[in-house]
A = this chain, B = another copy of it.
Amino acid sequence: MKTVKIGSVGLGRLGYEHAKNLATQIPGTELAAICDVNAEQAKKVADELGVKNVYSDFEEMCSNPELDGIAIVTPSFLHTQQIEIAMNHGKHVFCEKPLGTDVQQCKDAEKVVEAHPDLIFQLGFMRRFDPSYAEAKKKVDEGKIGKVVLVRSYTQDPRSTIEGTLKFAPHSGGQFLDMCVHDIDLVRWFTGANVKNVWGLGDAFEFDLYKELNDADNAVAVLQMDNEAVGFIFANRTHPAGSNVETEIIGTKGTLRIASVGAKNLLEIIDENGAHQEYYQDFLERWHSAFVAEMTAFTNHIRNNTKPTDLTVYDGTAVSEAAYRCKESFESGRVVLPIR
């Protein structure tokens, strides 16, 4: 099996997760380089994970001829320019969501990807690689639930970490852009349709900061798809039980639910409150196997010279566009905006 060599940029919390997975969890893969503006952090991680090449300049890393692909796990505003640099150096690219910070950036990225038809481009919609989500999609594609009529998807952050969340709030882009993009991706993926109309609702029910930011601590987005299926998305920052993402797909012949109870394991506890299961407390823990699976898919594509067929750069644009419309709808008070 040919060893695939990856360089990874960005060593924040998620960047470190990807780096560690690339270094230790994916057969036939070598994390051959890492890059971060924080040279000290890059050095430390390189030592821990046994990475040979350490960079603080992204383009320099991309110039390393040893590397097959680049994993971009940097702040969002850097994504599109780094995609361009990496591809111009002939590297396959894995890029974390979102594709860009506005629709124009996304469309620019589309052009870059189109200009390099031989290179693989994969977006970090990792939920699709989670075993439960992947199996749900398989059942939908097999027609097990008939036509999809409703996709309901919740992303809920633990109330216990609200302090940190509030600090980050002014720079997050707001719930629709920061939290809902994964859910919008799922709605499009499971319905096989594009967004036609949206309505953004919700309010700052408890934390005034969100009101100041013209944002919500509990936000709702309703998507009418162009095949009349409906997406119902809910994002909140005040979930009591932990970090929870759940999705329901209702078809004309059956229903699938993922994480209806978001139990972190198979342990059930019976105490004076009855019987309960504990939730994941942390999204990295929840999605660990999905992060490994998406990188495994990426390195397999490189090794086998294949491409993701149903996860393209255009999905990144479409999701971002829909998220912006939700935000506009919510902010304007006007209730629905046609897309395109």
* Interface of chain A, main secondary structure: mixed
B220-A202 in contact (CB<8A): no
One digit per residue, 1 when the CB lies within 8 angstroms of any chain B CB and 0 when it does not, for chain A 72-97 equals 00000000000000000000000000
Counting every copy of the chain, the complex holds: 4
Is A326 close to B, CB under 8 A? Answer: no
A139 contacts which chain B residues (CB < 8 A)? 269
Is A276 close to B, CB under 8 A? Answer: yes
Is A297 close to B, CB under 8 A? Answer: no
B273-A266 in contact (CB<8A): no
Closest to A265 in B: B132
Tell me the A236-279 residues at the B interface (CB within 8 Å). 236, 238-242, 250, 252-279
Give the number of chain A interface residues (Cβ < 8 Å). 78
- From known contacts A131-B265, A256-B269, A269-B139, infer whether A197 and B274 are also in contact, taking CB-CB under 8 Å: no
Alpha-carbon separation in the docked complex, A317 to B224 (Å): 29
One digit per residue, 1 when the CB lies within 8 angstroms of any chain B CB and 0 when it does not, for chain A 276-308 equals 111100000000000000000000000000000
Q: A139-B269, A160-B272 are in contact. List 5 more A-B contacts (CB 8 A).
A: A27-B49, A132-B265, A241-B274, A242-B274, A262-B275
Is A209 close to B, CB under 8 A? Answer: no
Alpha-carbon separation in the docked complex, A161 to B146 (Å): 17
B218-A234 in contact (CB<8A): no
- From known contacts A147-B205, A238-B253, infer whether A274 and B263 are also in contact, taking CB-CB under 8 Å: yes
A45 contacts which chain B residues (CB < 8 A)? none
Closest to A158 in B: B272
A-B CB contact pairs (8 Å), 12 listed: A1-B48, A24-B27, A145-B271, A150-B220, A159-B253, A218-B250, A241-B271, A254-B271, A256-B268, A257-B269, A273-B273, A276-B276
Is A70 close to B, CB under 8 A? Answer: no
Tell me the A172-226 residues at the B interface (CB within 8 Å). 197, 199, 201-203, 205-206, 217-218, 220, 222, 224
A272-B147 in contact (CB<8A): no
Residue among B222, B236, B255, B267 making CB contact with A256, cutoff 8 Å: B267
B205-A224 in contact (CB<8A): no
Residue among B159, B222, B271 making CB contact with A199, cutoff 8 Å: B222
Residue among B132, B218, B266 making CB contact with A132, cutoff 8 Å: B266
Tell me the A89-110 residues at the B interface (CB within 8 Å). none
Closest to A254 in B: B271
Alpha-carbon separation in the docked complex, A35 to B164 (Å): 52
Alpha-carbon separation in the docked complex, A229 to B218 (Å): 9
Alpha-carbon separation in the docked complex, A264 to B289 (Å): 14
B267-A258 in contact (CB<8A): yes
